[in-house]
Amino acid sequence: MKINWFPGHMAKSLNNLSKKARIIDIFIIVVDARAPISSINDEFLKFISNKFLLVVVTKIDLGDSEKFLEIKNFFEQKNFFVLFLNLKNNTSKNIIISQLNYIFKLKQKKQKAKFETPSLKIFVLGMPNTGKSTLINLVTNSRLKVGNQPGITRNNQWISSGKFLFLDTPGILPPKIENQKIALKLALIGLIKQEIIDLNFLFFEAYKLISELYPNLIKDLDIKPAENEAEITKNLSKLAEIKHFKDKNGLDLIRCQIWFLNYIRQQKITLD
């Protein structure tokens, strides 16, 4: 299954970013703790060469903390700096600034001289709805528009704060997401619009994935983990009975599928 959702503003922004990359000192890639590896857009890595890269894993209050050490090791093995943060917590501001100051000193040491200007140019990149604007608002006390849905930021915006100069960018998806498991994860946590994926496909694949990674979440609903679609269909009907999802034709399975997907989104999960 190929997911194609690449609006014109994304294509334009990606092209602009690649042109500006040479003047940037530090790249911050913001990822979601519920799928931190899958929410790295490989298109970004194509123009980030010989640059400092900081991965900020956000929404840790929604993720599975038992997996964070493994995720941290994954990024550090690639020589990325990494922070795990809840951007709703004001203490995150000091953690980010401290990390940027450290990288700033490394940059000075690498150049064996101070920068010609006191500013440090920083690209803030990420897929839609990962928290890029929220991060910049927190660090700079600015008021960029944010929202709990993809596509809020549409234009590149520079914001200064002391010696740091941030560029907020629209959330950018890969032009094509050919790995259906990655597409599933991104849709399940709301980084791409659920409407562009067939509901039936999304439900069945999500059921299989959660059965594999978090079977207790299935068992908590008084149904069984399953990977066979016939078994999943039986469990769907049983869940609809339990939740009293009915319409004039009998069990309302579509409503039940939507409820199940929303239920999974409310759990502390890390799908990578």
216 annotated ligand-binding residue: no
Mean pLDDT in residue range 95-116: 78
Output the CA torsion 186→190→193→197 (10° steps). Answer: 50
- The residue among 129 and 153 whose pLDDT is bigger is 129
Q: Any known ligand binding at 129?
A: yes
Listed in sequence order, the residues at least 6 apart from 237 whose beta carbon sits closer than 8 Å to its beta carbon are 251, 253
Phi/psi at 166 (5° precision): -100, 145
For residue 225, the one-letter residue type is P
pLDDT tens, position by position, 54-96: 999 999 999 999 999 999 999 999 989 999 999 998 899 999 9
The answer to whether residue 176 is domain-embedded is no
Establish whether 91 is an annotated binding residue. Answer: no
Poorest-pLDDT segment among 25-34, 70-79, 125-134, 251-260? 125-134
Q: What is the CATH number of the domain that holds 145?
A: 3.40.50.300
Identify the weakest region by mean pLDDT among 123-137, 154-168, 177-191, 239-253: 154-168
The answer to whether 171 is a known ligand-binding residue is yes
Asked if 115 and 220 sit in the same domain, the reply is no
- The b-or-e profile of 209-236 (16+ CB within 10 A means b, else e) is bbbeebeebbeeeebebbeeeeebeebb
Annotated binding residue at 130? yes
51 assigned to a ligand binding site: no
Q: Is the pTM of this model over 0.85?
A: no
Query: How far is C-alpha 102 from the chain's CA centre?
Result: 25
| Residue 270 marked in a binding site | no
The count of domains in the chain is 2
Do 28 and 144 lie in a common domain?
yes
